[in-house]
Structure formats: structure tokens, C-alpha cells
Amino acid sequence: MVRGKKGTKVFRASDVQRRYRAVLNGAKEDGLVQILDADGTVLAVELWKDAEFAGSLLEWARTAGQFREVFERHHEEPIADWAALTPFPWIDSLDSEEIEEFVDELARATLLAAGRDDLSEVVGLVRAFKSTADTYRAPDVLAAMLEEGEPEEVFAPSHYGYSESANAA
């Protein structure tokens, strides 16, 4: 065993059979173990959660990149003409300022997700913009939301720990 980049443990292929447990323990402890095969190929053993996150992050980065590329190429054209070229065809009901905000926020959230090891902000952002687009597609819902009236106080359900007596104190 030798040390690779950033202190990563590197095993030769011949070590894998002989020191199988050390390879697995190295991956558990350090999150990544490299295996140098006889032909020079470098393989990796890593925790599944890390590999799964890396794959999901890469997919979101590709999606954000494709979206930005289509947006930059076509943003001066009518949205309906190019929305279907994006991974988010539902944007055709958003206005140009909302789409520009979505492009920027998606890139920002994806970069932050890499440092946080958490994609929830990316997923939440996409859901929020899709929900807005869906609302715009439902004229009756939109009209009800824009209707003037008296504001109503809404309380969180008690199963979230809210109680009116605690709030009054």
C-alpha cells in the first residue's frame, strides 16, 4: 500500500486479494481507496453514499449546464420556441425575468450542494419554480391567489408542536 493524492490509500491489484479487509476498512475510514492494476488502470473503492451523491451532483451539474447553454443561446427568442429544448419544458409559463433568476439560482444551488454534500436546496429550488409555473398554468388558482380579500391567519398544525396557548404566552 502507498499513499496517493490527498493521502488516499492506494493498493496494488495483488494486495486486493491478500489484504481485502484492509482495502474495505480503508474505504470506510477514508471514504476512498485507489487500486492500481497491473496495466496501470486506477480503480476506486468508495462508500456508496459518496458515490451516489457524486453521481447525483454530476447529473444536476449537467442539467444546470444544459439549461444555461440553451438559455444563453435562445433567451432573446420567445420562450415557447425554446423551452422544450431544456430539461425543464414547463418554464414556458414563466416570464423572462423568472427564467433568468432560475438559471442563476440553479447554478448557485448546484455549486453550493457540492460543498455541502446536500442536494436538497437544488431539488427544492426546482420544485418551487415548477410549482410557480404550474400555478400560472391554472388560471382559476392564479385568480384566487390574486383576489383581494381579508387576510386570514393560518396556524401550523398541532402535530408540528404548535399550540395556540403556547403562542399566546
- CATH number, residue 33: 3.40.1620
Confidence of residue 113 (pLDDT cuts 50, 70, 90): very high
163 is a domain residue? no
| pLDDT exceeds cutoff 60 at 168 | no
What's phi and psi for 2, nearest 5 deg? Answer: -130, 175
User: Are 64 and 141 part of one and the same domain?
Assistant: yes
For residue 125, how many C-alpha atoms fall within 13 Å in the half-sphere facing its CB?
22
- Using DSSP, state whether 46 is helix, strand or coil: strand
pLDDT tens figures, 92-105: 999 999 999 999 99
Indicate whether 70 and 6 sit together in one domain: no
- Same domain for 90 and 68? yes
Residues 66 and 26 in one domain: no
The pLDDT of residue 13 is above 60:
yes
Exposed/middle/buried for residue 166 (C-beta within 10 Å: 0-12, 13-18, 19+): exposed
pLDDT digits (tens, 9 = 90+) for 71-93: 999 999 999 999 999 999 999 99
Q: What is the pTM of this model?
A: 0.70
- Model confidence band, residue 161 (pLDDT cutoffs 50, 70, 90): low
Same domain, yes or no: 65 and 128: yes
Same domain, 109 and 73: yes
32 plus 69 within the same structural domain: no
Question: Is there a domain that residue 165 lies in?
Answer: no
164 falls within a domain:
no
State whether 121 and 39 are in the same domain.
no
The answer to whether residues 108 and 122 belong to one domain is: yes
Is 6 inside a domain boundary? Answer: yes
CA distance 121 to 169: 34
Cα radius of gyration (the chain)? 25
Range of the domain at 15: 2-46
- Domain count of the fold of the chain: 2
